[in-house]
Amino acid sequence: MSNSIYNSDTSFVYAWEDVDSRTLNIGLKTPQGESKFTYITSCESPDFWERYSSGKLERTILFVGSELKAKAAEWFALDFGFKTGRKFFNLKNNAHITDESILSSKEKEVIVNFLRGEGNGVEFGSSDSTKAQRNKDIVKSIADRVEGNKYSIIYVPISEALKWDRSQVRVELDNLSTITKICQRMLEDPERARQTFKPITAVVRKDGSIIVLNGNTRLKSAEKTPGWNEVPVVFINESEFGSTEKIRLRNFTQYGLYMNREEFEIRVTNTKEDLKRNITNFLVEEEIDLSKPIHVDRARQLIYENFDYTCGSKQQLNGILNSILSDYEKNQAELSYQKNLITYDDKFFKDYSWDNYGKKEISTIHATVGEAANAKPLAYICRVMTKEKTEKGAIILHYTSKHELVSEEKHNWIADLKKTITYMRLPISVDVLPAFGS
């Protein structure tokens, strides 16, 4: 039988020891009952659980094997411990008396050495595959206990938690975008935020120092959110992460990665456009007329009331409403242009440029009115004039959509382009082609 406590047919004897008082809790876990991944102890002592919740108890495995021998090992450990004056959380040796002779002298020696403070319990197999599986079991079992609320939650002042070291598995130490997003939600719905705020996981080391293994972003978000003075924390003693410093340090990192793993279920979250489409349909069903200010106020109220739980934040909902309003104004403005736009092709531009400018040795380029927004055509014509070695140039602008017409009316891009050319005293003219036929 392989000596792994996670094999389905093995039992094990464990010892929890207080790092300060050296008080013990020794017990037995058989294959029956609660999963070995989440099992802690059957001890009911309030003192035990108070110390455990503070990460002040170290766990050591004293025996792994068949259930019959494990029961003998439990009795032997408790009997030896009580009779040699060790302090226990257990009120008495409540193990069943069994035949100690079925234990080998080596198995007893492991127990005795630990109780005398001279040993570290059972040594597990050392093959690479065994080590990998053992460490995987350690990380997953701790994660299962955290997610299953097996650890007590202690509320700690944020100012105190910020003093702890941080085990960081992400390339970016503090993702400001994510922190800002979390802060926004915490401000908008404090009650829900407190209910859904997952506890920060911290490990307590033998020297008394504390390291945050998971929850760095949540901690920084709470720090930056007004009204938050403390955060929920679960403390785990470092002994639960492995028997050696090298194993523990590796498992600290593995735990952080595991807790931030991608879920098995693959799903695409709602995009802004998804929400915008459905909110627009909702407003139509509610007969909201966005041309009326009172209806706009009503729309905002209805959106908050009906979509707050399907969206990240009210701020995002407000942004979606503003986008809907912008689209509405654009569509209404475009409806004022009933005619179809003139479509200009390359042949037209070649003929028009030559007949009106080329014959006069004036360089030309053609661009859309929309491109005039950032003066892109100005840089383009200057380059062409340099290449053709001409002294004059002309920018031929044309409309490609009614949206450009509406935007030009609102922003006056063409006038701004002409003003820039005049200010710089450039020998360049701007020729705007008609959008519609006569």
Q: Are residues 250 and 179 in the same domain?
A: yes
Residues 242, 358 share a domain:
no
Residue 171 sits in which domain range?
Answer: 131-259
Within a domain: 305:
yes
The answer to whether residues 100 and 211 belong to one domain is: no
Pick the last residue of a domain from 285, 300, 335: 335
Q: What CA–CA distance (Å, rounded) separates 307 from 318?
A: 11
Token pair of 178, please? 């994510």
Same domain, 351 and 243: no
| 220 and 144 part of one domain | yes
- What is the pLDDT averaged over residues 288-316? 84
Q: Using CB atoms within 10 A of its CB, is residue 242 exposed (0-12), middle (13-18) or buried (19+)?
A: buried
User: Quick one: 157 and 118 in the same domain?
Assistant: no
- Evaluate whether residue 169 is within a structural domain: yes
Whether 265 is in a domain gets the answer no
Domain end, chosen from 96, 123, 150, is at 123
- Same domain for 235 and 150: yes
Flag whether 266 is in a domain: no
Q: Say how many domains are in the chain.
A: 4
Among the listed ranges 4-13, 119-128, 275-284, 397-406, which one has the minimum average pLDDT value?
A: 119-128
Same domain, 97 and 138: no
Poorest-pLDDT segment among 255-264, 361-370, 384-393: 255-264
Quote the DSSP letter at residue 3.
-
Handedness of CA 93, 98, 101, 102 (dihedral sign): negative
On whether residue 3 sits in a domain, the answer given is no
Tell me what pLDDT residue 414 has. Answer: 94
Most confident among 35-39, 218-222, 323-327 (mean pLDDT): 218-222
CA distance 129 to 181: 42
pLDDT score at 393: 96
User: Do residue 249 and residue 287 come from a single domain?
Assistant: no
Residue 325 shares a structural domain with residue 351: no
pLDDT, tens digit, for every residue of 31-86? Answer: 888 877 678 898 889 999 999 988 899 999 999 999 999 999 999 999 999 999 99
Q: Are residues 18 and 103 in the same domain?
A: yes
Side chain identity at residue 154, one-letter code: I
181: CATH = 3.90.1530.10
Position 365 pLDDT exceeds 60: yes
**Cβ 377 vs Cβ 428: under 8 Å:** no
Question: Can you list the positions of beta strands (E) in 177-305?
Answer: 200-204, 210-214, 230-237
Question: What's the maximum distance between 2 C-alpha atoms anywhere in the chain?
Answer: 115
pLDDT of residue 1: 43
Q: Is residue 2 part of a domain?
A: no
Of the listed ranges 168-172, 192-196, 291-295, 351-355, the least confidently predicted one is 168-172
280, 317 Cβ separation under 8 angstroms: no
Last residue of a domain, one of 313, 335, 357: 335
- 130 pLDDT band, cuts 50/70/90, is low
Buried b (16+ CB within 10 A) or exposed e, 14-26: bbbbbbeeebbbb
Whether residue 140 is contained in a domain is answered as: yes
Q: Residue 1 domain-assigned? A: no
- Determine contact, residues 90/84, Cβ cutoff 8 Å: no
- Same domain for 44 and 138, yes or no, is no
Residue 65 neighbours by CB under 8 Å, 6+ apart: 1, 3, 10, 11, 12, 73, 107
- Which residues contact residue 10 at a Cβ distance below 8 angstroms, ignoring those fewer than 6 apart? 1, 2, 3, 4, 31, 64, 65, 66
Q: How many CB atoms lie within 10 A of CB 169?
A: 16
